Amino acid sequence: MRIVICGAGQVGFGIAERLSSEGHDVFVIDVSPQLIANVRDQLDVRGIVGYGSHPDVLQAAGADDADLLIAVTQADEVNMVAAQVAHTLFQVPTKIARVRAQSYLSPQYRHFFARDQMPIDVVISPEIEVGEMVLRRLQLPGAVESVHFADGNIVVLGVMCAEDCPVIDTPLRQLTELFPNLRAVVVGAFRNGRLFVPHSEDMLRAGDLVYAVAPRDQVRRLLVIFGHEEPKAARVVVAGGGNIGFYVAQELEKREPQTKVKIIEASRTRALQVADTLHRAVVLHGSALDQNLLREADIEDADTMVALTNDDQANIIASVMAKTLGCVRNLALINNVSYPVLANALGIDAYVNPRAVTISRVLRHVRRGRIESVHSLQNGSAEIIEAEALKTSTLVGRPLRDLDLPAGVRVGAIYRKNKAVEVSGSTIIQADDRVIIFALADKVHQVEQMFRVSLEFF
């Protein structure tokens, strides 16, 4: 595919890095000569300095022949105009734009993005998506990561195995014998910096980060089996009252009225705005790195510190300080790709990476075949892919044990007619099933082929 990316910041760079590594023809546009030089030096892409919303710049970037435009600059308006120009002048088939301002996304204005108005095929709002991920983590505090598929009916959990985890040093095949009614599949494990697909004879070790797939109604039981019985948060301290922090607090007020929320915001003006809008949350003005302010927020009685400022280091330090002062758990917003690897060692229980969230949304529209959803794991080391099985797929009509799946690929769940199907060696995938598959990065292309429309691709 020929892909034009407007914006060479952290998100744009990450998308370009991922897509260029997969062999796509990528062109990056940014107004910063330094960022473009950085992209050219480090990636196998072409770059141009200029505004992605300018027709001559888009033309120079090959928009005439582009299959996809991804606009992720810092300015919503530049992203929207770039999509409009790409549609009107260059007939680019698919336009993806990041839009942060919540006013554009209000339900009463949704028609604004209709094809005959502002023709954006996919609107990505990182604040809302990251906020929803934070809310899911608060619901499942024992999980390091949780992602929903099949309209929320299938959940992929990332769970840490502690020293006292009940199932460590036990072959995976025995889990079925020990828990016969557990409809969950362990699809991946991250150990000593390596992500792999474990076999039935493999045993989990203390310190492993395990990825398991289960129906929504089995999630709590799965967490208990892995030694995580933590109740959902009832007292939450939020560091940062920006778009994400405000969204989380506002939604907690709506969805969990019994949860007590306190927000720490460094900007006095923003703190007053947040306080005027929220109904029950307590808003404190000051730094989340101030121990006295943390104590004023009753951090020693809090279940969870959620650090959502724009500063990774501040988020990490505030999270660690909160636990030191008595807070039970923490969750940090981390943008830097280097930090998540060290998160556990730094004392971070769970983290959210906005860049990974945005890249995952983009990948869904780059992947070929009937791909419904994609989530990237461990900085692109693997993907969880939800796809619809067609009659022509080689997956259809044979028991899973007879499928010649590549090493590094594991079927985690099958969703059929609004119901999760138990996954075992005898399970047969049927046409129109939604299949959730774990695939290491170098096997993703083969998974795409399994869900292509015609037999000629196999």
DSSP secondary structure, 148-160, as one string:
EETTTTEEEEEEE
Q: Are 172 and 200 in contact (CB under 8 A)?
A: yes
Average pLDDT of every residue of the chain: 88
What is the reported pLDDT for 116?
Answer: 65
Cβ count near 368 (within 10 Å): 13
288: Cβ contacts below 8 Å, ≥ 6 apart: 239, 240, 264, 266, 294, 307, 309, 314, 318
DSSP alpha helix (H) spans, 266-379: 268-277, 291-296, 312-324, 343-346, 354-366
Options 2.130.10.10, 3.90.550.10, 3.40.50.720, 3.90.850.10; which CATH number does 235-352 get? 3.40.50.720
The residues of the chain that CATH labels 3.40.50.720 are 2-124, 235-352
Lowest-confidence pick of 49-53, 270-274, 299-303, 360-364: 360-364
Task: Determine the Cα–Cα distance for residues 37 and 53; give it in Å rounded to an integer.
Answer: 20
pLDDT at position 458 over 50 = no
Task: Determine the Cα–Cα distance for residues 373 and 79; give it in Å rounded to an integer.
Answer: 23
Determine whether domain 140-225 maps to CATH 3.30.460.80.
no
Task: Determine the Cα–Cα distance for residues 50 and 71; give it in Å rounded to an integer.
Answer: 13
pLDDT at position 357 over 90 = no
Q: Are 284 and 262 in contact (CB under 8 A)?
A: yes
Determine whether domain 362-457 maps to CATH 3.40.50.150.
no
Choose from 126-130, 309-313, 335-339, 366-370 the range with maximum mean pLDDT. Answer: 309-313
According to DSSP, residue 5 is labeled E
Percent of the chain with pLDDT over 70: 96
Q: Are 158 and 143 in contact (CB under 8 A)?
A: yes
pLDDT at position 349 over 90 = no
Task: Determine the Cα–Cα distance for residues 2 and 366; give it in Å rounded to an integer.
Answer: 10
Query: Could you tell me how far CA 451 lies from the centroid of its own chain?
Result: 22
Residues 368-375, mean pLDDT to the nearest whole number: 79
The residues of the chain that CATH labels 3.30.70.1450 are 140-225, 362-457
pLDDT at position 49 over 80 = yes
What is the reported pLDDT for 456?
Answer: 45
Residues 377-397, mean pLDDT to the nearest whole number: 87
Query: Could you tell me how far CA 163 lies from the centroid of its own chain?
Result: 28
Percent of the chain with pLDDT over 90: 51
Task: Determine the Cα–Cα distance for residues 152 and 154; give it in Å rounded to an integer.
Answer: 6
- Report the topology of domain 2-124: Rossmann fold (3.40.50)
Indicate the burial class of 111 (C-beta count within 10 angstroms; 0-12, 13-18, 19 or more). exposed
Residues 420-424, mean pLDDT to the nearest whole number: 89
Q: What is the pLDDT of residues 266-282, one digit of tens each?
A: 999 999 999 999 999 99
Q: Are 387 and 437 in contact (CB under 8 A)?
A: yes
Task: Determine the Cα–Cα distance for residues 440 and 83; give it in Å rounded to an integer.
Answer: 32
Question: What one-letter code names the amino acid at 158?
Answer: G
Q: Are 281 and 315 in contact (CB under 8 A)?
A: no
Q: What is the pLDDT of residues 71-112, one digit of tens each?
A: 999 999 999 999 999 999 999 999 999 988 777 777 777 667
Count CA atoms closer than 13 A to 380's CA, side-chain side: 17
Residues 422-446, mean pLDDT to the nearest whole number: 91
Q: Are 432 and 388 in contact (CB under 8 A)?
A: yes
Task: Determine the Cα–Cα distance for residues 163 and 167; give it in Å rounded to an integer.
Answer: 10
Backbone angles phi, psi at 139, to 5 degrees: -70, -35
